[in-house]
Structure 1
Amino acid sequence: MTHYDVLVVGGGTSGMMAAISAAESGAKVAVVEKNKMLGRKLLVTGNGRCNVTNNRDKEEIITHIPGNGRFLYSAFYQYDNYDIMKFFRSNGIALKEEDHGRMFPTTDKSRTIVEALKRIMEENKVEIFLNAPVDTVLYEEGKSKGVRLKDGRTLLASSIILSTGGRAMPKTGSTGDGYQWAKKAGHTLKPLYPTEVPITSDEPFIEARVLQGLALRDANLSVLNKKGKAAISHRMDMIFTHFGISGPAVLRCSMFVHQVMKRDKTDRATMMIDALPDKTINELRQEIAQLIKDAGDKSVKNSLKGMVPERYLLFGLEKLNIEDGTPLKQLTHAQIDSVIEFFKDFRFTVNGSLPIEKAFVTGGGVNTKEVNPKTLESKKMQNLYFTGEILDYNGYTGGYNITGAFITGRVAGMHAAQAALGIGQ
Structure 2
Amino acid sequence: MRKVVVIGAGAAGMIAASVAADRGLDVTLIEKNQRVGRKLLITGKGRCNITNNCEIEELIENVNKNGKFLYSAFYTFTNTDVIDMFETLGVKTKTERGKRVFPDSDKAIDVVKALEKQVKSKKVKIVLNSKVIDIVSKNNKIEKVILNDKSEIKCDSVIVATGGVSYPLTGSTGDGYKFAKSQGHTVTDIKPSLIGMEVQEKFVCELEKLSLRNVSISVLNSKNKKVYDDFGEMEFTKVGIDGPIIKSASCRMKDTTKDNYKVIVDLKPALDEEKLDKRIQKDFKKYTNKKFENALDDLFPKKLIPIIIRLSEIDPDTVVHQISREERKNLVHLIKNFTFNIKRYRPIDEAIITSGGVKVNEINSSTMESKLVQGLFFAGEVIDVDAYTGGFNLQIAFSTAYLAGLNC
TM surpasses 0.5: yes
Partner residue of 2:325 out of 325, 329, 333: 333
Describe the shift of the 1:211–1:50 C-alpha distance in structure 2 as closer, same or farther (beyond 3 A): closer
1:147 corresponding residue in structure 2: 145
Q: In the alignment, is residue 205 of structure 1 matched against residue 200 of structure 2?
A: no
Equivalent in 55, 72, 78 of residue 80 of structure 1: 78
Counterpart of 2:58?
60
Q: Does the C-alpha gap of structure 1 residues 293 and 244 become closer, same or farther in structure 2, counting only changes over 3 Å?
A: closer
Cα distance in 1 for partners of 2:121, 2:284 equals 72
The one-character-per-residue Cα deviations of 1:191-228 (angstroms, maximum 9, x if unpaired) are 1111222211232323xx23233322221122211232
**Where do residues 40-55 of structure 1 align in structure 2 (5 Å cutoff)?**
40-55=38-53
- Superposition TM-score, scaled by structure 2 size: 0.94
Alpha-carbon distance in 2 for matches of 1:129, 1:252? 35
**1:23 equivalenced with 2:15 (yes/no):** no
**Residue type of the partner of 1:402?**
L
Give the aligned partner of residue 276 of structure 1: 268
Match of 2:305 among 310, 313, 316: 313
**Given that residues 4 and 30 in structure 1 are in contact (C-alpha distance below 8 angstroms), is that contact kept between their aligned partners in structure 2?**
no
Aligned residues: 408
C-alpha offsets along residues 144-187 of structure 1, whole Å, 9 cap, x if unaligned? 22211111221122221100111011111111111111011111
Which amino acid is the alignment partner of residue 191 of structure 2? Y
Secondary structure at 2:388's aligned position in 1? coil
Q: Secondary structure at the match of 1:351?
A: strand
TM-score when normalising by structure 1: 0.90
Displacement of 1:4: 4.3
Q: Which runs of 5+ in 1 are unaligned?
A: 417-425
Query: Which moved further from structure 2: 69-78 or 43-52?
Result: 43-52
Amino acid at match of 2:221: N
For structure 2, the 5+ residue unaligned runs are none
* Deviation of the 1:331 alpha carbon: 2.5
The structure-2 alpha-carbon separation of the partners of 1:312 and 1:93, relative to structure 1 and needing over 3 Å to count, comes to closer
SS, match of residue 397 in structure 2: helix
Specify whether residues 337 and 102 from structure 1 end up closer, same or farther in structure 2 by C-alpha distance, changes over 3 A only. Answer: same
Partner in structure 1 of residue 227 of structure 2: 231
- Determine which of 361, 371, 391 is the counterpart of 1:369: 361
Question: 1:137 touches 1:147 (CA, 8 Å); kept in 2?
Answer: yes
Query: Does the aligned pair in 2 maintain the 1:192–1:364 contact within 8 Å?
Result: yes
Deviations, residues 13-49 of structure 1 (Å, cap 9, x unaligned): 1011001111222322111111122111112222333
Which one of 204, 218, 224 corresponds to residue 222 of structure 1? 218
What's the offset of the Cα at 1:318? 1.5
Distance 1:168 1:6 in 2: 26
Quote the Cα distance in structure 2 between the aligned partners of 1:118 and 1:74: 26
Residue identity matched to 2:227: A
Q: 1:134 aligns with which of 129, 132, 135?
A: 132
Q: Which whole-Å CA distance do the structure 1 matches of 2:57 and 2:330 have between them?
A: 41
In the alignment, is residue 395 of structure 1 matched against residue 390 of structure 2?
no
1:32 aligns with 2:30: yes
Tell me the SS of whatever aligns to 2:356. strand
8 Å contact 1:225–1:260 — kept in the other structure? no
Shift of 1:277: 0.7
SS in 2 for 1:401: helix
What are the Cα deviations for residues 48-99 of structure 1, in whole angstroms up to 9, with x where unaligned? 3322222122222233332333321221111111001111222333222233
Counterpart position of 2:337: 345
Percent identity for Structure 1 against Structure 2: 37
